[in-house]
Every structure is written in structure tokens, then in C-alpha cells.
Amino acid sequence: MNGVHDMGGMHGFGPVEPEPNEPPFHSTWEGRALALNRAMSYAKLWNIDKSRAAIEEFPPQDYLAMSYYEKWALRLEKLLLEYGLVGADEVAAGHALREGKSLPRTLAAADVEKALTRGTYSRPTNTSPHFKVGDRVRTKNINPTTHTRLPRYARGRQGVIECVRGFHVFPDTVAIGQGENPQWLYTVLFESRELWGESADPTLRVSIEAWEPYLEPA
Amino acid sequence: MAGKDHDHHHEHGSELSETELRVRALETILTEKGYVERAALDAIVEAYEIRIGPHNGAKVVAKAWADPAFKTALLKDATAAVGSLGFISRVGDHLVAVENTERQHNMIVCTLCSCYPWEVLGLPPTWYKSAPYRSRAVIDPRGVLADFGVELPQTMQIRVWDSTAETRFIVLPLRPAGTDGWSEERLATLVTRDSMIGTGLARRPDEATS
């Protein structure tokens, strides 16, 4: 979706403000919000792209106003309601009013280390990649109203295949319940002028990671 | 819902923010329903507060500076190379190390959310997740570097990696001059988190903290 989350190249947000000696969490609740999200993801009811899409779907004014962990907290609440794991009455009451449903799996303290290791997103295939390193490609000009990982600034642009990364789960379908639908994944490199025009920094090149359905031969 | 206001309340009084109350309520509900174990939540928080942080990435970089065979392996397959070290728990698949040279400086961003190599660098800093960084890194990386007090030669090529898939990137910064013969442990003290994101350079020996 053409949401405000897709920020590459936008102006007006001001300077980057590094915080010296930043703590892992600024408040205790931030750590709890992260942990709750991680523990519930472990149940495998939703995947990482569904989680991302849930945040992207917040109204833009809320997205911009909320801190990172506020988004995480509200995203979890939204998914719990959507999947029927928690009722709105329970959220309002601040307590469970019914027994929990049975989950595919729950996270025990002993398994936390395992849960914090990222899984693999590559899948077996007997297909061959359509493009090879050095091929010129053009990203498609797509504007789906649902989740995609092709950023707006890199749509309809010519680039070069720099690397074939493997055969990976396709976010655009897995985020909307249409299956993993794995696709070849590439690193595509763009010259700055192709992205930003004549006034671009000539020393700059930018790459994205792009799945084959985002690309056509140039 | 502005986060800064909440932090302000948190620092100066006992007033609980709306979000804090919501998170507490969620934890209560999910625990009562048997979906989560408090001990598991505690272990996750502790892992990110103590065990998983940029000190892990610094060890990897120092090893690559000191050991050419490891550097070659790291640049070829960072997941396998880091996994072979043993001092870091297994890292997930698709970790990619990109090398700074005298001619090219690398910078990592995720313009669409905040993808970051958590297992080697820990939690992303707030600025990495912020709109200013996510918007500007791909169009004005030199301006971003200036915000960090870093100025690169005008002839230096800049390469920005937008983490739009599950591949995760870590920058292998240039080894500072004057560090010949240093042990890996000592070299690691020069490796900052920002140097592994590409918004900073490794410390010079005279800037070493310990």
C-alpha cells in the first residue's frame, strides 16, 4: 500500500538525532511490549509480513505520531482481536473473561533463545532465476493497496542485478493469507540519477532487495 | 500518543501513560489466558538488555580485521561465518556483510520499516527507526552522515543498502591505521555500533575507550 511507512526520499522530517548511550529500552513497558509481540509471534498464527502490514495499516497521522513500541503494542492488540484470541470486552476489562484458545505452540522460558533466532525465509525450488548478475532490469510500476516491499522511490526504475539471493517467501501474498508463494530474490542496484534525477549526488548508488515479480527486463 | 510526552511523564512522576496501561493489561490478559509465560517474557527482555547487542558485531568485525581467512568467509556467507565463531548464538539466515574500502562507504537502512541485524547489533537505536533516517538515507546519505558529525571525501562512493527483504546487512568498517599487531579483543574496542550501520567510522586508536 502507498502508505506513509514508505518513507524513502521524503523531505521535511528534519535531522537525524542520535542519542548518546541510548538504553535498550526507555521505559519498562517497551521491553514488555516487545516481549509480548515476540512470544505471540512464536505461536505461528501470523507471519512477519502480516505483522508489518498491521502496522502499515494504521492511519498515517497515527503512524507518524506513535513511537516504535507504541506501534508494536497497538499492533499486537489489533492482531489478537483480529484472530479472535482476545475479545474487545477483555481488552476493556483488562482481564481475561474466558479461557484461552489452544495455540499451535506457546513459548516456554527455556525456548526463548530459539525463539529469538530468526528463521529462514528461503524455500526449496527446482526453478531457475529468470535474471542473472549484470542483467539490466526495470522495476514494475505497481501500486497494490495491500502489503508490498517494493518502495515507491524505486518503482519504474532501471537498475542492474547485483546478486541472486535465493528463492524466498513472497511478502505480497503471504501478508494477505495467499500463501508463501516463494519467488527468486535479487539485489538490484540503482544509480542515484535514475532514482533522484539530475541533481542527485553522483557518488551515490542505492540497492533494494527485489523479488522477481517486481522486475521486468530493461 | 507522542512517545516523548510519555517518557516525560515516566521520568517525572508516577503517572502511567495510556500505552503503559494498555501493555500491562495485555500482559495480564495473555497470561491469564495461558498464551504467554511471564518467565519467557522476562527472558526475552533480559536477552535484549544484556546478551544481544553491538558487542557481538564488534567481535565479528575485529575477527575479520585480524584474520584474513575469516574475513573472506564473512564476506562470502556471513551467517555461516558468524555461526562458526561459537561465541555468538546461532544467527538467522540471510546475514550479509558489506565491506567498506578506501573507495566505497556502505550504509544500511530500512525505508519501509526498521529491518536491522538484531542478532549481531541488538535492538536498533531510536534514530534508525525514525522518519528522518528512513526518509533521507537513500537520497541524502552525506547529509545524514553530517548529522553524525561524519564527513567523507567527495570522491568516496556511497552505497546505501535498503533492507527491503529478509536479508540483513552489517557493515565491515575500515580498520583504523595504527592498529598493527593489536589483539582481536583490543580491536573490538574500536568498533562502534554506528560504524557497523555505516553512520559512523571505527574509532581511531587515540579515541579508544578501553
* pLDDT tens readout for residues A29-44: 999 999 999 999 999 9
State whether B107 and B201 are in the same domain. yes
Cα of B9 to nearest chain A Cα, Å: 11
Tens digits of residue pLDDT in A91-100: 999 999 999 9
Does B23 contact A22 at a Cβ distance shorter than 8 Å?
A: no
The residues facing A194 across adjacent strands are: none
Domain count within chain A: 2
- Boundary-marking domain end, from A58, A82, A115: A115
Mean pLDDT across A172-181: 97
Distance from CA of B4 to the nearest CA of A (A): 8
Quick one: B91 and B184 in the same domain? yes
Percent with pLDDT over 70 in chain B:
90
Give first-to-last CA distance, chain A, whole Å.
25
**Number of domains observed in the structure of chain B:** 2
Domain enclosing residue A179, as ranges: 136-217
Mutate to test the interface with B, among A25, A27, A101 (most CBs of B within 10 A): A27
B90, B190: one domain: yes
Q: Are residues B83 and B168 in the same domain?
A: yes
pLDDT in tens, B3-33: 444 444 444 445 678 999 999 999 999 999 9
Residues of B in contact with A37 (CB under 8 A): none
Q: Are residues A46 and A109 in the same domain?
A: yes
pTM for this structure? 0.94
- Establish if A150 belongs to a structural domain: yes
DSSP-derived 3-state class of residue B199:
coil
Residues B142 and B124 in one domain: yes
Of A115, A145, A163, the one marking the end of a domain is: A115
Average pLDDT over residues A152-176: 98
Using pLDDT thresholds of 50, 70 and 90, give the confidence band for residue B1.
Answer: very low
Searching chain A, which residue's CA lies closest to the CA of residue B155? Answer: A203
Residues B170 and B85 in one domain: yes
Cell of B156: 568516496
Mind listing the pLDDT tens digit for each residue in A56-83? 999 999 999 999 999 999 999 999 999 9
- Beta bridge partner(s), residue A206: A190, B160
Same-domain check for residues B105 and B194: yes
A6 domain residue, yes or no: no
Whole-angstrom CA distances from B36 to A112, B28, B64, B121 are: 12, 9, 40, 26
Stretch B131-141: mean pLDDT, rounded?
98
Q: pLDDT value at position A114?
A: 84
| Burial state string for B176-185 with b = 16 or more CB within 10 A and e = fewer than 16 | beebeebebe
What is the rounded CA–CA span in Å between residue B192 and residue B185? 14
Which contacts (CB < 8 Å, 24+ apart) does range B203-206 have?
A: B203/B176, B204/B176, B204/B177, B204/B178, B205/B176, B205/B178, B205/B179
A36 and A100 fall within a common domain = yes
Please tell me whether residues A45 and A90 are part of one structural domain.
yes
Percent residues over pLDDT 90 in chain A: 97
- Alpha carbons within 13 angstroms on the beta-carbon side of residue B209 total 7
Residue B93's pLDDT band (cuts 50, 70, 90) = confident
Same domain, B33 and B75: no
Looking at the structure, tell me whether residues A205 and A142 fall in a common domain: yes
Tell me the pLDDT tens digit for each residue of A180-216: 999 999 999 999 999 999 999 999 999 999 999 999 9
Assigned domain for A20 exists: no
Question: Scanning every residue of chain A, which has its alpha carbon at the shortest distance from the alpha carbon of B130?
Answer: A16
Cα A46-A48-A51 angle, rounded to 5 deg: 70
Residues B45 and B67 in one domain: no
The CATH number given to whatever domain includes residue A147 is 2.30.30.50
Q: Is A45 exposed, middle or buried (0-12, 13-18, 19+ CB in 10 A)?
A: middle
Query: How many H-runs (helices) and E-runs (strands) does chain A carry?
Result: 8, 5
CATH number of residue B198's parent domain: 3.90.330.10
Specify the DSSP element, H or E, that contains B58: helix B54-66
DSSP A19-52: -TT--S-SSHHHHHHHHHHHHHHTT-SS-HHHHH
CA B194, B200, B203, B207 torsion-angle sign:
negative
* Predicted pLDDT at A129: 98
For A150-204, the DSSP string reads S-GGGTT-EEEEEEEEEEE--HHHHTTTS----EEEEEEEEEHHHHH-TTS-TTE
Calpha distance A63→A141 (Å, rounded) = 25
- The reply to whether A147 and A84 lie within a common domain is no
Asked if the Cβ–Cβ distance from A34 to B48 is below 8 Å, we say yes
> Quick one: A160 and A213 in the same domain?
yes
**A10 belongs to a structural domain:** no
Looking at the fold, whether B35 and B69 belong to one and the same domain comes out as no
C-alpha cell recorded at residue A76 = 499486537
- Structural domain boundaries enclosing B16: 3-50
Q: Are B110 and B169 in contact (CB under 8 A)?
A: no
Whether A33 and A105 map to the same domain: the answer is yes
Q: Which of B42, B125, B139 sits opposite A19 (nearest CB)?
A: B125
Instruction: Check residue B11 and give its pLDDT.
Output: 47
Give the SS3 label for residue B102. coil
Under a CB-based contact definition with an 8 Å cutoff, are residues B28 and A95 in contact?
yes
Return the half-sphere exposure (C-beta side, CA atoms, 13 A cut-off) of residue B121.
Answer: 25
What is the model's pLDDT at position B92?
75
- For residues A93 and A158, state if they share a domain: no
% chain A with pLDDT above 70: 100
On average, the pLDDT of chain A sits at 97
Report the C-alpha gap between B96 and B115 in whole angstroms.
13
Q: Are residues B95 and B18 in the same domain?
A: no
Cell of A98: 474466558
Q: Are residues B26 and B79 in the same domain?
A: no
B110 in catalytic set: yes
Interface touch A120/B92, C-beta < 8 Å = yes
Q: A16 in a domain, yes or no?
A: no
From residue B153, alpha-carbon distances to A126, B142, B197, B202 in Å are 46, 10, 19, 16
Of the residues B89, B113, B130, B135, only one is catalytic, namely: B113
Tell me whether residue B135 is one of the annotated catalytic residues.
Answer: no
Q: Is B155 helix (H, G, I), strand (E, B) or coil?
A: coil
Asked, for residue A14, whether it belongs to a domain, the answer is no
B108 interaction partners in chain A (CB closer than 8 Å)? none
Q: What is the DSSP letter of A3?
A: -
Using CA atoms, how far apart are residues B74 and B77, in angstroms rounded to an integer? 5
**Per-residue cell: B153:** 571525501
- Predicted confidence band at B85 (pLDDT cuts at 50, 70, 90)? confident
